[in-house]
Structures are given as C-alpha cells and as structure tokens.
A and B are shown apart, each in its own frame.
Chain A
Amino acid sequence: MSVLDLEHLAVDLPVEGRLRRVIHDVTLSIAQGEAVGVVGESGAGKSMTSRAVLRLLPHGATVEGEVRFEGRSVMAMDRTALRDYRLSDVAMIFQDPRAHINPVRTVGDFLVEALVERGDAKADALRVVTALLGVVGISDPQRRVKQYPHELSGGMLQRVMIASALAIEPKLLLADEPTTALDVTTQSDVMVSLDTQRRERGLAMLFVTHDLELAAAVCDRIAVMYAGFLVEDIPASQLHRGVQHPYTAGLLASRPSPTVRERRLFAIAGRPLSAYEVGDGCGFASRCAFANDRCRSERPALRVVGASRVACHRSEELSGQLSSHNIREATHD
C-alpha cells in the first residue's frame, strides 16, 4: 500500500490578485519505505509539491486534485486531523535549518517541542532526542542539546533538523533541498545520516533536489519535474541506462562531470520556464531539440513505458537516442 498518493495535483497561487499556476499536473505515489527524488530546476514546482503534501501553502492558494496519506485525503482533513497529521505522520526537513530553528532557544528545546506538544513528558522527550542526536552523527549530544543554534555549524544544524524529523517517528519524510546550502563534504556526511536512518526505520521519503545524481544515490525512483509538470518517473537504477524524456536526458548531459572533461558541455537552449508560462502543448517543447508540431499543440499525458512513466509524445521513437553520449554527439554536429 502506498503511503502517499498525489492524484492530478494542480496548485494555483495568488499573484497580484490573480491566480497563477505553479503546478499543472502531478500524479505520484510513494510506497512504504520507498524514497522518491523530485528533481527539477527553478520554477519546476518541486518545492510547492512538497508543501502541498503538508498542506503548507500560501494563503489564498487553490488546489485541484488530491493528496492522500495512507488513503486519507489530506485536503479534506479538519483542523485537528491536520494537526495530528503534521505532528506525527509526516516530518519536513528544510533547506535552511537556521531559518527554521528558533535562535534564542537551545537545540534541546527545539528538539523536544513536537514531542511535548504531543503529550510526552519533557524529561523523556529529552532522553529520546539526545539519543537521536548521537544516531544522526553528532558527537557529544549531551552538550549539544544545551547549546544554541549559532554555536553549531550548518551541517550539524541540518542533522539536528533530521533528528527532530525522526523524533516524531513519522511514516513519511519530506526533505526539501536539505543539503543545497552545505559544502560537498558536509553534504556527503549529512546524506549518510539521512539515508541510513531512513532505511533502518523503513521510512518513505520525498526528496526534493536540483541534483539528479544526488537523488539517484539515495532514492529508489526519480520524478523529474519541469514547469509544473511531472515529465518522467523513472527507477533510479535506470537513470543512466534509459531515460525516456528529452528533458531528463538534457539535464543529465548538461551537468559537467568531475571525472571527464567535455570538449564542450551540452546545454539545453533557453531558460527553465515557470509553470504559468507554458502554452497548450508540452511544457518543454520550446526548449526541446526533438519537438514537432504535435508537441507544440497537444499536451502529452503521463503514460507507462517499461519501468517508467513518461510524458512525451515521442518517447518510443526517441528511445536509444537519449543517452548522454548521443545527446552530446548530436550537439557537436
């Protein structure tokens, strides 16, 4: 049974008095213990998707479609149900821990907050979170719980955030670019903690990132978003064997490699569009090297192709042409 189901999720946000589309159509399920990486560039709607899961959207936002947690509609929850849902079923890890941890209270106070809110005794809660700090790789947790956020580095603070997420023993973790603000070596350390703990506890995870390779390393499946659409949902193991969507292929090919120097990098023409900027056809058509008239006029639906789901009219025709090597070769001509 799946923990989370997004069914034709569409979100509009009010901008200058008018509603503006930020997510067009996202249909996605996460099974128990499964990690799904939501990958995309700015404006793709990936962060908004994770916020919609928590129903943490700006005032005045409208949502179409459905978000279900263990079969229950999150959109239909009343105040108490929503509160319980946020307090014990899902936990979110944000990009900037410093902005989400009260700077004038100790790390321990921050960590026990949700547990105490839920009715645990403070002393018990503190024991639990202190143990958790050790688990996520923070040395000397007894001392750390008494410290203030400014005394901890960004990497440590993100681990504190992970510990606070684990503390409520959720079924689903939402991680929104949790390591983007960190150095690469710190990112690696933090990801080890997050990945190990998630696997050990069998938690489902929605991992939002702009980094395909990072997502592939810690997730079972990758959901690629572009301009508010889910364009491809592919097993992480398939990422380097057979992507089906030209955008995914382009993203893979345009990232420089630390091991090989390209004569010239592949670059997708144009800039990433925001959801409200796309016309009738495929959202990616304006930047796609393979787009034809149909792509520009008719919106492709997400359909199952092999182990993946892809929203592209031409994915069958293009299969075999989308490897990074071929894509790069094509641009050198």
Chain B
Amino acid sequence: MTENVPALEVIGLRKEYRVRGAGSTTAVASSGSALLGHPSKRRAPTSLVAVDDVSFTVAQGRSLAVVGESGSGKTTVARMIVGLERPTGGQVVVGGRQRSWNQMGSRERRRRAREVQIVFQDPYSSLDPRMTIRACLDEVLRLHFDWPSERIDARIEELLDQVGLDRRQADGLPRSLSGGQRQRVAIARALASEPRVLICDEAVASLDVSIQAQVLNLLSDIREATGVSYLFISHDLAVVRQVSDDIVVMRRGQMVESGPTEQILTQPGDPYTQRLLAAIPRPGWHPTSSHDSGPEQTPSTESS
C-alpha cells in the first residue's frame, strides 16, 4: 500500500430515504434523519435527506471524528461506508479504490471486510449470544486467512492480549462478560481482519465512565501498535478531543464545520459547534438555554 493514498475518502456523500404517505413520522425518526418540510402536515414529504453532500478524508494512521447530535446523519454516514446502506449519491474511496454498490458478491464483501471494520454502540447486542468469544474470533480469522489452526489460535491469543481479555474469558459466552469486556471483544473481532480503517460508532457511549476511560486508552494503544486509522462517530466532544486528530461537525445531514480537533474545539467557528461545546458539563459549568436552537419538531429517538 502506498503511504500517501488516504485510508478513507468520502466525496459528496448523500442519502435520501423515500417516505411513503402520511403517518411516517416514526419511520423518519428511527432512521435519525432530518425531515424536509413540516411533519405535522397530513401529507408527508416523499423524500427525506439524511445525509447531504458530506466529504472528508482520513489519512493513513490518522483519526477523524464525525460529531453531531441525533438526527445529524453521522451514523448513516458510517453505515454507508461499511456497506450497510447504499448511498444515493457520492463516492466512498478506500485505500485509493472507489467502491461500487452494484457488485456486492461475497468475494467482494470479503475483500472490503479487510479494509473497513466497525464497532457498534451497544455491547449487549453486537455479539452473537450463542457463540463463544473464541469461536467468534476464529470465524473471522478462518474466513480471511488461509492459516493452519496453530497460527489461528496464536492470533486469537494475540488479539485477546491486545484488547486486554484473558483466555478463560474467551471460552465463555458473551453473557458472562460485562459491557466493557464485550466492547473489547467487539474491538478484537473488528481488528481480526486487519482493516485499514476502524469505525467506532458511539463505541464508548454506553459504557460507565471508568470503563470508558479504559476503552479509550485501549483504542489509542491499538492505533499506536497497528497504525490503523479511526473514524469516530460520536456525540461527545470530550471523548472526541481525546481520540481524534480532526473533526467534522454535522447537523441535520450537513457538515457545518471541519478541521483539526484542537482548532475546532478551542476556537469553534460555527455557532452550532459553539453551542455543542458550551453544553458539555465541566468544572464550573452551568446549564444555559440555547434559544436559537429552533423549534424541536421531529421526535428524536435515535439512540446515539
């Protein structure tokens, strides 16, 4: 791989959802998207833009955070990059290769799995409840590498070490593990195929504060050790400051600001970023109301 090719490049990404008839407000809300037009009207709009013209680049070994609140479209961006959603427009370029959505055979998906992996938010539903941790890692390794069993076993041990799990835990089912441990398993599984880019979709949002710190440290250790690039999808600017080099701020499907993390979080240019930053509880903080947030219209039920 050439070093100056960006690990991941997203150009003019767009996602529209078709909305059928009235009474579709719930569907809209669950996809976590901005709605065009007025939802309380009888006839709902026929199309809704969840992601609108989003572009960014993640260099090899760098970490980019996509920040926004529910309905910002940040999760949809992640889902399009890993192929769980089909973009309406725009391009996703991974390691210099443009992705097409027309040929998604299993061979092609297997190749892509070695480029981009994802860790989801909920550690309780992102592991197969009936598969031991070892079997889960074994399955991915056997799929991607034509290795003898000893080498696969050795690699499993190595992955477990890397994410800080012991061997005894590896023979148990996910239900015997705590939320933080499960998230470590999810990270190990994602790393198993040795991807260039690891997407963390609110990967620490549902963890306890003390566990969150452990996992954030783990993620930075992994980046140091493997040179993997990160795409962090997060609503939490404090977390983002800790783990990212660059930031893209999204709101209602559009990018409002982007730049180096340090710069954006020290001197946010956009009023929305400023408001987002001001809303984080910190020493000496007092809640203030943001009157210009506009009327809250759509019920926001996105979990992120």
Contacts and interface: CB of A to CB of B under 8 A. Distances in A.
- Direct contact between A and B in the complex (CB less than 8 angstroms)? yes
Interface string B289-304: 1100101111111000
Given A153-B300, A261-B242, A185 B69 contact: yes
Nearest to B243: A256
Nearest to A251: B209
Interface residues of B, number: 53
Contact of B283 (A150, A213, A256, A271): A213
Contact of A185 (B25, B293, B295, B297): B293
Contacts of B295: 139
Contacts of B286: 217
Contact of A153 (B181, B208, B236, B297): B297
B112 interface: no
Contacts of B280: 184, 258
A155 B296 contact: yes
A33 interface: no
B138 to A, nearest CB: 25
Contact of B279 (A41, A185, A240): A185
Contacts, number: 141
A256 B297 CA distance: 32
Nearest to B72: A183
Interface string A258-281: 111110111110011000000000
Given A137-B289, A185-B276, A192-B288, A271 B212 contact: no
Contacts of A214: 281
A193 B238 CA distance: 24
Contacts of B70: 183
A256 B207 CA distance: 13
A259 B265 contact: yes
A255 B293 contact: no
A87 interface: no
Nearest to B280: A258
User: Which of B217, B277, B296, B297 counts the most chain A CB atoms within 10 A?
Assistant: B296
A156 B210 contact: no
A88 interface: no
Contact of B285 (A213, A260, A266): A213
Interface in B256-288: 261-262, 265, 275-288
A267 B279 contact: no
Contacts of A287: 210
B210 A257 contact: no
A143 B16 CA distance: 31
B185 to A, nearest CB: 14
Residue of B179, B216, B275, B289 with highest tally of chain A CB at under 10 A: B289
12 contacts: A41-B208, A151-B40, A155-B296, A183-B70, A184-B276, A186-B69, A192-B289, A217-B285, A256-B213, A261-B262, A267-B217, A271-B208
Interface of A: 41-42, 98, 137, 139, 150-156, 183-189, 191-193, 195, 210-211, 213-214, 216-218, 239-240, 250-251, 254-262, 264-268, 271-272, 287
